[in-house]
Amino acid sequence: MAKRNLFGTDGVRGVVNTQITSKLALSLGAAASIYFDGRLAQRTNRTIAIAWDPRVSSEMLAAALGAGFMETGVSVDYLGVLPTPGLALILARDTRYMAGAMISASHNPPEYNGIKFFGPGGHKLADADEETIEGNLGLVELGNPSRVHGDEVGGAHRVENAREEYMAFVRQNNPGLSLEGIRIVVDGAHGATSYTTPALLRQLGAQVIEMNTDQDGKLINKDCGSTHPGAVATRVVAEKADVGVAHDGDGDRVIMVDRIGRRVSGDVMLYVMALGLAGEGRLTGNTVVGTVLTNLGLEKALEPHGIRLERTSVGDRYILDRLNEGGFVLGGEESGHIINMYQNVTGDGLATTLAVLGYLVRTGRDLSEIVDEVELYPQIAENVRVKDNSIASCPEFVAAVEAARMELGNAARLVVRPSGTEPLVRIFLEGKDTERLTALADRLKCVLLSASQQGEE
């Protein structure tokens, strides 16, 4: 099977009209159609659901992607602006769709966009499936063998109530939850949650203060949302709110803020949710699934409660794979991308918010009190921009990394990971001696940049 060159860790992603073009979207639609037809057409309707976030380029790419499907005779339902977990949940609950596609670049800035595919049940495709679709692009470029003629092409239909359908599903998953008397600041990052999160929180009785919820596609993720929680933290303190909620552009993440303005990471939210599920006897295997980057402090905080942490490679698909393999129900990442199998089969920022708030309501506890229970170890993260991520495999850098690990021993952790979506190599260190970790990060960064510059010569 051909190696993936186009698909990264979360679909196809890049700068619009550079890496991501309408021509590529058209071809991907046809290539994906060949794949889905071969696997699913005999068992489901030949209809694809397409949703998007509010980026300026999203509707252009959605139209092109849909045309690629329609030229093969597949019909397309356009669901409009919808959080990624909304598409996944609709696919999980609605059997009329053969598959789905999301147009979004998640937490990336406005000039980026991307395409990721979902199979029946709302599951993202496995690496091997994406390899097959990428291989089908060659067939499309040579002349799409699945193209139909005349009036056999697929039709297009615009679905007007997808957001309301998603919110209804989320509410059904949280029966009896009341947020009366809770004051919440919501930062929508100008993205797909700008309507859904404030609306559902208000339906449940919360007092909501909105910021960055105008769905301005030119501002999505810019100095706001889950990647820049300082803004919502300032607003929470100023408004004397109980909690703050900050999403990324497509709503599969959430970072929270406590009443005194402290960032509540995905690791801390996993702790809260694990306690909640364990207390109800629903945390299967008494296990939480994290990644190699999950803070050691979470592992230590869970231990007294008889809960263990398993680690996977970075990426929600690997977390989901382990959840399915082990029969577990809860896993996630520090970024706030958390999968709760009782709520959704992908990261769902709104569902995570309700799970955390539900625990606080049931126990009468304050989020700031719980934050103090998780002593997070200092972490140093360097994102080194390079020409080509493959430079991380060069002998000089590999040797420097091994030397650093030998020096650290068991006192700290070191993880090096090329980005799957950008030309970046991420250097991650965790331990109590921040001065030492910073010096090591600087040393590794210098070796990497030197090797990258030599590679350009």
Which residues lie below 8 Å from residue 371, measured CB to CB, with a gap of 6+? 258, 262, 264, 268
161, 90 contact by CB (below 8 A): no
Tell me how far apart the alpha carbons of residues 159 and 86 are, in angstroms, rounded to a whole number: 13
Question: Pick the catalytic residue: 22, 106, 194, 419?
Answer: 106
382, 445 contact by CB (below 8 A): yes
Active site (annotated) includes residue 146? no
Q: What is the DSSP letter of 125?
A: P
| Phi (first) and psi of residue 65, to 5 degrees | -60, -45
State the amino acid at position 328 in one-letter form.
Answer: F
As annotated, the binding site for Mg(2+) includes: 106, 248, 250, 252
State the amino acid at position 221 in one-letter form.
Answer: N
65, 25 contact by CB (below 8 A): yes
Residue 318 parent element (H or E): helix 316-326
Tell me how far apart the alpha carbons of residues 113 and 105 are, in angstroms, rounded to a whole number: 4
Tell me how far apart the alpha carbons of residues 23 and 27 are, in angstroms, rounded to a whole number: 6
3 state DSSP class of 201: helix
State the amino acid at position 391 in one-letter form.
Answer: I
Strand order from edge to edge, sheet including 243-247? 207-211, 183-187, 243-247, 254-257, 263-264
Which residues lie below 8 Å from residue 432, measured CB to CB, with a gap of 6+? 377, 378, 411, 412
Q: What share of the chain is helix, strand, coil (3-state, %, to 5)?
A: 45, 20, 35
- Token output for 200: 């559902």
Look-up of token digits 């109980």: 242
Q: What is the DSSP letter of 53?
A: -
Supply the residues annotated as catalytic. Answer: 106
